[in-house]
């Protein structure tokens, strides 16, 4: 056995800033002296921003119309009562007339709004198969189990697109007509139905299955459409770039909403004479009334809105900024008073010492 000799100071800890907890550090202190100017600055900035946001939101026009047809308020009530208790209801058309006293500045966006419709219900929200929607052939034949009870049709064929979301695709359609001279004929306003879905959804996330012999119909051979649909998915549109899983209405619908009252983009109005907006005059919206909402107490609305950089008409942000900004300044003043009063007291204390 050897007796190890340890050098003197062998156990001495390292004298570094880290081990001695002496790292250079910034040591801020939340005192009134620092926070007061901060509060006033932040308050003023917020009020300024709030005013800006408020006016920006106020500049946005919105025109909405409830066409549920509840109490015989509109001619859609005929359709509503007709469709009562039957799903799907028969094709029924109604119209909404409105007139603009001045130009409705463009670009104008056409939305539909549903209320009391729980797209965020968990059972509903998971009832889809993203693999199938991405064009995977195996998933087309074998839809995910989450799709049940919309997984296989009564005859045992796989449903494409499967699931509750796809099955409940919104199927009302709208067309807009403009009566340019007073009492003249109605001219159809072109609705741009492209680019209403997210670019990535339309171009990447949703893909049709590979064509069979150049035909989309053959690709979907051996599948059944969702039970509520009147036509198969490959006939949603005649445009090959807008049919099947990449139909824009379908893609828009498949992005489930966060809250039970939601809007979805239907079309943009930006073509021809209407690129600057809707000129003054009388308009008619032809509505194909298919979608039943009264069974769950829902409402259907149609909305024209224009858009700023911050989106649609949203007074909340502006008001919230104003409120928080004024609170900042108010509390800043309170704090100033407290600060001055207690400053004196502190000085007195020090003098006493």
Site for other proteins in 265-324 (CB under 8 A): 265, 268, 292, 295-297, 305, 307-314, 316-317, 320-321, 324
Q: Tell me which of 130, 188, 344, 348 binds other proteins, using CB under 8 A.
A: 130
Nearest approach, Cβ of 260 to other proteins (angstroms)?
6
d(CA 223, CA 209): 12
d(CA 262, CA 111): 10
Nearest approach, Cβ of 186 to other proteins (angstroms)?
25
Strand, helix or coil for residue 336? helix
Does 140 contact other proteins by CB under 8 A?
no
Instruction: List all residues 6 or more positions away from 228 whose beta carbon is below 8 Å from its beta carbon.
Output: 87, 88, 167, 168, 169
Q: Give 125 or 281: the residue with its C-beta nearer to other proteins.
A: 125
Site for other proteins in 187-226 (CB under 8 A): 195-198, 200-201, 204-205
Does 149 contact other proteins by CB under 8 A?
yes
Q: Give 117 or 234: the residue with its C-beta nearer to other proteins.
A: 117
Site for other proteins in 325-344 (CB under 8 A): 327-328, 331, 335, 338-339, 342
Count of residues binding other proteins (CB under 8 A)?
104
d(CA 245, CA 241): 10
Give yes or no for a contact between 318 and 46, defined as CB atoms under 8 angstroms apart. no
Strand, helix or coil for residue 217? helix
Instruction: List all residues 6 or more positions away from 227 whose beta carbon is below 8 Å from its beta carbon.
Output: 150, 153, 154, 159, 167
Q: Give 218 or 330: the residue with its C-beta nearer to other proteins.
A: 330
Q: Give 253 or 283: the residue with its C-beta nearer to other proteins.
A: 253
Give yes or no for a contact between 276 and 107, defined as CB atoms under 8 angstroms apart. no
Q: Give 199 or 214: the residue with its C-beta nearer to other proteins.
A: 199
Greatest pairwise CA separation for the chain in angstroms: 117
Q: Tell me which of 47, 159, 164, 236 binds other proteins, using CB under 8 A.
A: 164
Does 92 contact other proteins by CB under 8 A?
no
Nearest approach, Cβ of 267 to other proteins (angstroms)?
10
Query: How many CB atoms are located within 10 Å of the residue 16 CB?
Result: 9
Site for other proteins in 32-71 (CB under 8 A): 32, 35, 42, 46, 49, 53
Give the containing element (helix H, strand E) for 282: strand 281-288
């Amino acid at each position: 056995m050897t007796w190890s000799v340890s050098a003197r100071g062998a156990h001495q800890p390292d004298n570094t800033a880290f081990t001695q907890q002496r790292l250079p550090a910034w040591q801020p202190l939340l005192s009134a002296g620092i926070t007061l100017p901060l509060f006033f600055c932040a308050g003023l900035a917020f009020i300024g921003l709030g005013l800006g946001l408020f006016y920006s939101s106020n500049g946005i026009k919105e025109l909405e119309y409830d066409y549920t047809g509840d109490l015989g308020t509109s001619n859609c009530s005929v359709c509503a009562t007709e469709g009562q208790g039957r799903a799907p209801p028969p094709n029924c058309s109604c119209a909404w007339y409105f007139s603009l006293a001045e130009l409705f500045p463009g670009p104008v966006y056409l939305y539909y709004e549903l209320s009391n419709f729980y797209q965020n219900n968990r059972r509903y929200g998971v009832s889809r198969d993203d693999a199938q929607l991405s064009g995977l052939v195996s998933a087309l034949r074998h839809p995910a189990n989450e799709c049940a009870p919309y997984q296989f049709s009564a005859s045992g064929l796989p449903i494409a697109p499967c699931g509750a979301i796809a099955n409940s695709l919104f199927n009302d359609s709208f067309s807009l007509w403009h009566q340019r001279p007073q009492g003249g004929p109605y001219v159809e306003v072109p609705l741009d139905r492209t680019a209403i879905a997210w670019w990535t959804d339309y171009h990447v996330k949703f893909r049709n299955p590979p064509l069979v012999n150049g035909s989309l119909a053959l690709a979907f051979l051996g599948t059944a459409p969702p039970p509520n649909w009147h036509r198969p998915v490959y006939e949603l549109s005649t445009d090959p770039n807008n049919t099947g899983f990449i139909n824009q209405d379908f893609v828009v619908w498949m992005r489930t909403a966060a809250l039970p009252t939601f809007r979805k983009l239907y079309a943009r109005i930006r073509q021809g004479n209407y690129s600057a907006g809707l000129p003054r005059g009388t308009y008619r919206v032809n509505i194909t009334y298919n979608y039943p909402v009264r069974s769950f107490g829902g409402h259907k609305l149609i909305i024209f809105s224009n858009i700023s950089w911050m989106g649609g008409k949203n007074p909340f942000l502006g008001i919230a900024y104003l409120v928080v900004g004024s609170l900042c300044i108010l509390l800043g003043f309170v704090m100033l008073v407290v600060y001055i009063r207690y400053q004196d007291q502190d000085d007195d204390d020090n003098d006493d010492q």
